[in-house]
Every structure is written in structure tokens, then in C-alpha cells.
Structure 1
Amino acid sequence: MKKAITILIVLISFNAFAEKKYQRTYFENGTIKSEGWIENNHKTAFWRFYFENGTLKKEGHFSEDKEIKYWKFYTIGGTIEKEGHFLNGKKTNWWLFYDSNEKINHKCQLKDNQKNGFCLMYKNEKLISASKYKAGKKIKEWTTFASFKKDNKFSDLK
């Protein structure tokens, strides 16, 4: 009987530790700073973070305290600033970057938090140039569609 009680206490303790809880933190002025899920003392699932004025700063998913999946970032004024993918806490794949009018300014392929692949530049929603990066260093730039098409396949943009 003692052994069964001990096992039951261990299981209850483990369950209490592993419980998924919704957590909110606040700035000193009382406005919300962050909110999301905690499991095993790690951020998990969907989270939102706020500026001290109460506007949304960023939102996305975590797995064991590391950013994963798709995230969006906002300016203190509430407009979208950038959005893209994370893998194990590092920016990866295509990221979109916006101007103050929420129009795409440029989009880049990233790997391990740095440009790695193509970066497309826009002005007034029109493509004006393209660059290619390797491990954060620019290795080529094109300012015309014809020159880009000559050097690349569109399948490279995936």
C-alpha cells in the first residue's frame, strides 16, 4: 500500500509540474507585457508581446522557449514591420519587411538569422532589384529582370 501511495504522489507531482498554464506579465504601469502558454517552465504554443503603450509588439509560437513557425512583428505605432518563419529560435525561409505604409519594402531568404539566398527589393510595390546572399554576404545583384532571368531559374526562389 505504501508503494502505491508513493507512486501516486510522484505521478501527481509530475502532473502538476507538467501542467500547461496561461501566463500574463505586466509592465510597472499596469499594461500587459506578454501573454502565452507555459509548460514545464518553458514558453510553448502561441504568445503575444506588447509595447509599454499597450500596442502589440510581436506574436508567434514557441516550443521549449524557442521561437518556431510563423511570427509577426509590429512597430510601436501598431503597423506591421516584418514577418517570417522561425526554426528552433532562428529566422529561416522567406521574411517580408514593410515600410511605414505597410507595403512590402523587401523580402529575403534567411537561414540561421542571416540573409542566405535571394533578397528582392521593392519601391511603390514594384520590384526594383534583386540580390543574392551567402551566409550574410552579398554575392550578386541584379537591377533588371532580364539580367536576373539570365542568371537564375524561378525555381531558385522557392
Structure 2
Amino acid sequence: MKNLILIIVLLINFNAFSEKKYQRTYYENGNIKSEGWIQNNQKIKFWTFYHENGNPKKQGHFSANKESNYWKFYTKTGSLEKEGHFKNGKKNNWWLFYDTLEKVNHKCQLKDNQKNGYCLMYKNEKLVAASRYKAGKKIKEWTTFASFKRENKLSDLK
């Protein structure tokens, strides 16, 4: 009987510990700082972080306390600044970077937080230049779209 009671108490404590909870934190000025899901003292699922003025700062998913999937980042004024994929807490795949009018300024392929693949530069929403990177080092640059197209397949940009 004593062992049965001990097992029941342990199961109740384990369930309470692993319970998924919604958490909010606040700045000293009372504005919300962050909100999202916690389980086993780790961030999981969707989270939003805020600038001190109340505007969103960044939002995306966590898996076991690491950024995962798609994230968006915003300036203090609320404009979209950049967005892209995370894998195990590191930037991966395509990332888009925006100008002050929220138009794509450039987009780059990343792997483990480093440029790895193509970076495409835009002006007035038109592709004007491109570079290729390997492990963060620039290995080739094209200053016109025509020169880029001559040497690359557009299907490589997917």
C-alpha cells in the first residue's frame, strides 16, 4: 500500500512538472515582453517577443527551447525587418531582409547561421545583383541579372 501511494504521488508530481503552460513576462513599464508556451521549463510551440514600446519584436516557434520553423522579426516601429527558417536554433534555408518600406532588399540562403548558397540583391523589387557563398565566404559575385542567368540555373534558387 505504501508503494502504491508513493507511485501515485510521483505520477502526480511528474504530470504537474510536464504540464504545458502559457507564460507571459512584462517590462518594468507594464508592457508585455514575451508570451508563449512552456513545458518542462522549456519554450515550445509559438512565441511572441515585444519591444519595450509594445510593438512585436519577433515571433515564431520553439522546439525544446530552440528556435525552429519560420520566424519573423520587426523593427521598434513595427515594420517587418527579416524573416526566415530556423533549424535547431540556427538560421537555415532562405531568409528575406526588408528595407524601411518593407520591400525585399535582399534574400540569402543560410546554413547554421552562415551564408551558404545564393544571396540576391534587389532594388525597387527588381533583382540587381547576386553572390554565392560557401560556409560564410563569398566565392562569386554577379553585378547584373543577365550575367547571373548566363552562369546559373534559376531552378537552383528554390
Question: Structure 1 CA distance, aligned partners of 2:104 and 2:36?
Answer: 29
Could you tell me which amino acid in structure 1 is paired with residue 52 of structure 2? E
Question: Structure 2 CA distance, aligned partners of 1:123 and 1:42?
Answer: 41
Q: Which residue of 2 aligns with 1:151?
A: 151
- Normalised to the residue count of structure 2, the TM-score between the two structures is 0.97
- Normalised to the residue count of structure 1, the TM-score between the two structures is 0.97
Question: Structure 1 CA distance, aligned partners of 2:34 and 2:48?
Answer: 6
Q: Which residue of 2 aligns with 1:29?
A: 29
SS at match of 2:84: strand
Question: Structure 2 CA distance, aligned partners of 1:144 and 1:29?
Answer: 49
User: Which segment drifts farther, 81-90 or 2-11?
Assistant: 2-11
Question: Structure 1 CA distance, aligned partners of 2:89 and 2:144?
Answer: 35
| 1:67 aligns to 2:56 (yes or no) | no
Question: Structure 2 CA distance, aligned partners of 1:148 and 1:24?
Answer: 48
Question: Structure 2 CA distance, aligned partners of 1:33 and 1:46?
Answer: 15
Q: CA deviation at 1:132?
A: 0.3
Q: Which residue of 2 aligns with 1:78?
A: 78
SS at match of 1:148: helix
Cα-to-partner distance string for 1:80-133 (whole Å, 9 max, x where unaligned): 000000000000000000000000000000001111000000000110001001
Question: Structure 1 CA distance, aligned partners of 2:13 and 2:137?
Answer: 51
Q: CA deviation at 1:155?
A: 2.5
Question: Structure 1 CA distance, aligned partners of 2:101 and 2:149?
Answer: 30
Matches within 5 A, 1:1-158: 1-158=1-158
Q: CA deviation at 1:145?
A: 2.7
Could you tell me which amino acid in structure 1 is paired with residue 11 of structure 2? L
**Equivalent pairs: percent with the same residue?**
75
**Root mean square deviation, CA, Å:** 0.8
Q: CA deviation at 1:154?
A: 2.1
Could you tell me which amino acid in structure 1 is paired with residue 132 of structure 2? K
Q: CA deviation at 1:147?
A: 1.8
Q: CA deviation at 1:144?
A: 2.3
Matched length? 158
Gaps of 5+ in 2: none
